[in-house]
A and B are shown apart, each in its own frame.
Chain A
Amino acid sequence: MPVKNVKSEYIVQTNQLTKIVDGKEIVKEVSIHVKKGEIYGFLGPNGAGKTTVMKMLTNLWKPTFGTVELFGETLTPTSYDVLKRMGSIIEFPCFYEHMSGRENLQLHCEYMGYYVPDSVDHALKMLGLLEAGDQQVKRYSLGMKQRLGIARAILCRPELLVLDEPTNGLDPAGMKQLRDLFKMLCAEYGITIIISSHILSEVESIADTVGVIDHGRMMKEISMQEISERNTAYIELAVEDTKKASYVLADKLELKNFKVVDGRTIRIYDDGADTGVLSKTLALNDIAIQFIGRKSESLEDYFLKVTGEGNGL
């Protein structure tokens, strides 16, 4: 019997989700909050626990501790009705390879109890597979199978799409096509989409919110808007002697907020810092400047910061 909760603003919510397999904590106390109609980028290095969380969201795996709430209901082992409202790809899409792409989609409709004329053709067309629809799936390339998997996931017009690394095996044009498709599905049909990825650029341009997971722990959950608001522009400086340059920055220019990134790079976050003044002062103090320029923090920078300099990427 599904447990009804007080209506939440979130369509997907996990509470302290933990998964222990063979005594090892794969996912620890992960709390996710996904609003209706948004694209949620679930980011993390390989092996961070993204797929495990996705499996628990789709009820393929059961949490050791914690709960998953979908559409305001706590997921139980027998929560079948919510599955009707979801489309998913976990790890890689599997098909009945001896059947054609079209037959696979028709079979999916039968199991989902979804009978809308032309829905199969429509889904195939959306993913550019209309011509290949009658070919056996075993003749499909990896990219075609991935697109067919997405066609199947969106076929029954789900309210929620859970996509685990959906662009695996796609070329850059295919990835762009999918990003556009996801944006369209979200904007026109109000579908909520959770996309996991370890490729930041894939998510950066489409996500409304990102959750960053590393070593099974949720490191940060933040909206892209907040990232851009927080987005501290900085001046990046490449010099031969960072020690001497740091002394000049602190002592002569009285800058307090800067960081030596590596043996030759310094980032200056002080609002009042000016590239012209910096160049002149450093030159006057005999410090050779190899590069100076203003930069802004990308999602990648943010991700690397949150996951500890991108270990594992």
Chain B
Amino acid sequence: MMKLIRLEWKKNNVLKYIRNAVITTAVIAILIVMMAGELVRSADEIDAEYLYGKGILGTTVELFVHMVYIVFTGIMLASFIVSAYAKKTMHLMFSYPINRKKILLSQMAAVWIFNFLAMIVSKLSIYMILVLTSSFTEISTVDISFGELSFWLDILLGSAVMVSISYIALPIGVQLKSSKATIIASVIIVCLTQGNVGSVRLVNNIPFIVILFVISVLSVYLSVYNVETKDLS
């Protein structure tokens, strides 16, 4: 399986995605530093508790990183799997003496592992930049606590769940044989998961996230369950 994943990265030029992830992370970091700096400068005009309240910085980082990587996952799913169907390179893949489910799962795993790791690295990099620059920007980083287990659990679990939920876009793209449809579906997932209903952030609504996670598992199942017997058009 690892060999198949490695080949997927190789043929889809994973270096290009690494470069894009680095650029995106840098842009998010700059954006957040600027936003937070602006808030600090106007601190006397707003509620200090709101500004320095627990989790405000973390929430902003999570929001931006999740938004970016849900779409990023959609783009990669479109490139690794959907366009392989559309450009018929999947015909070639299915002519190899390899279990077809394994082929598809390796493609999905290649995207999942990349985005999961990229999301973690991205979050950690941004947190570190915020902490390292806090003495200059005067941004409070009290809620960034690298030493706490809950901090790491939040990052790991949040990243795993968000990347997984992105897979809801996959069967839509495969069914329509359209990379655009996959990416549009990803944007809709961003709106669903990162939006607010009133003052409630949907991402903090556990039952809602569990439902989306179950749908994503079903999406993966739907994408592979009949691949052995289905005609490849």
- Complex-state Cα separation, A78 to B229, whole angstroms: 9
- Complex-state Cα separation, A59 to B228, whole angstroms: 9
Q: Contact: B94 with A81, CB < 8 Å? A: no
- Complex-state Cα separation, A98 to B11, whole angstroms: 9
Main secondary structure of the interface of A (DSSP, over half): loop
- Complex-state Cα separation, A192 to B94, whole angstroms: 21
| Contact pattern, B 92-121, Cβ under 8 Å of A = 1, otherwise 0 | 111111110000000000000000000000
Residue of B nearest to A92 (CB): B88
Q: Contact: A83 with B11, CB < 8 Å? A: no
Q: Contact: B95 with A107, CB < 8 Å? A: no
* Interface check A112, CB cutoff 8 A: yes
Which residues of chain B (63-102) have a CB below 8 Å from chain A? 87-89, 91-99
Residue of A nearest to B16 (CB): A98
Which residues of chain A (103-137) have a CB below 8 Å from chain B? 107, 110-113
Q: Contact: A111 with B232, CB < 8 Å? A: no
Q: Contact: A60 with B231, CB < 8 Å? A: yes
Cβ of A257 to closest chain B Cβ, rounded Å: 48
Name the B residues within 8 Å of A91 (CB-CB): 88, 91
Q: Contact: A107 with B13, CB < 8 Å? A: no
Which residues of chain A (50-89) have a CB below 8 Å from chain B? 55, 58-62, 77-78, 80-84, 86, 88
Q: Contact: B91 with A60, CB < 8 Å? A: yes
* Interface check B210, CB cutoff 8 A: no
In-complex Cβ contact of A96 among B11, B91, B228 (8 A): B11
Cβ of A146 to closest chain B Cβ, rounded Å: 15
Q: Contact: B97 with A62, CB < 8 Å? A: no
Q: Contact: B13 with A62, CB < 8 Å? A: no
* Interface check B10, CB cutoff 8 A: yes
- Complex-state Cα separation, A90 to B93, whole angstroms: 13
Given contacts A61-B231, A77-B229, A98-B13, contact A111 B88 (CB under 8 A): no
* Interface check B7, CB cutoff 8 A: yes
Given contacts A99-B11, A110-B7, contact A58 B95 (CB under 8 A): yes
- Complex-state Cα separation, A111 to B10, whole angstroms: 12
Residue of A nearest to B228 (CB): A77
Residue of A nearest to B226 (CB): A77
Main secondary structure of the interface of B (DSSP, over half): loop
Q: Contact: A81 with B97, CB < 8 Å? A: yes
- Complex-state Cα separation, A95 to B231, whole angstroms: 20
Name the A residues within 8 Å of B3 (CB-CB): 110
Q: Contact: B96 with A112, CB < 8 Å? A: yes
Q: Which of B13, B88, B91 has the most CB of A within 10 A?
A: B91
Q: Which of B92, B93, B231 has the most CB of A within 10 A?
A: B92
Q: Contact: A95 with B232, CB < 8 Å? A: no
Q: Contact: B91 with A78, CB < 8 Å? A: no
Q: Contact: B11 with A62, CB < 8 Å? A: no
| Contact pattern, A 28-67, Cβ under 8 Å of B = 1, otherwise 0 | 0000000000000000000000000001001111100000
Q: Contact: A78 with B228, CB < 8 Å? A: yes
Name the B residues within 8 Å of A95 (CB-CB): 89
Name the A residues within 8 Å of B228 (CB-CB): 77-78
Q: Contact: B231 with A111, CB < 8 Å? A: no
- Complex-state Cα separation, A60 to B94, whole angstroms: 7
Residue of A nearest to B227 (CB): A77
Q: Which 5 A-B pairs have the closest CB atoms?
A: A84-B97, A77-B228, A83-B97, A61-B231, A111-B96
Provide 10 A-B residue pairs closer than 8 Å at the C-beta atoms, listed in order of the A residue: A60-B91, A60-B232, A61-B232, A77-B229, A83-B96, A95-B89, A96-B11, A107-B7, A112-B97, A113-B97
Residues of B within 8 A of A (CB): 3, 7, 10-11, 13, 87-89, 91-99, 228-229, 231-232
Given contacts A77-B229, A107-B11, 13 further A-B contacts (CB under 8 A): A59-B94, A60-B91, A60-B95, A60-B232, A62-B229, A82-B97, A88-B95, A90-B95, A94-B89, A98-B13, A107-B7, A111-B96, A112-B97
Residues of A within 8 A of B (CB): 21, 55, 58-62, 77-78, 80-84, 86, 88, 90-91, 94-96, 98-99, 107, 110-113
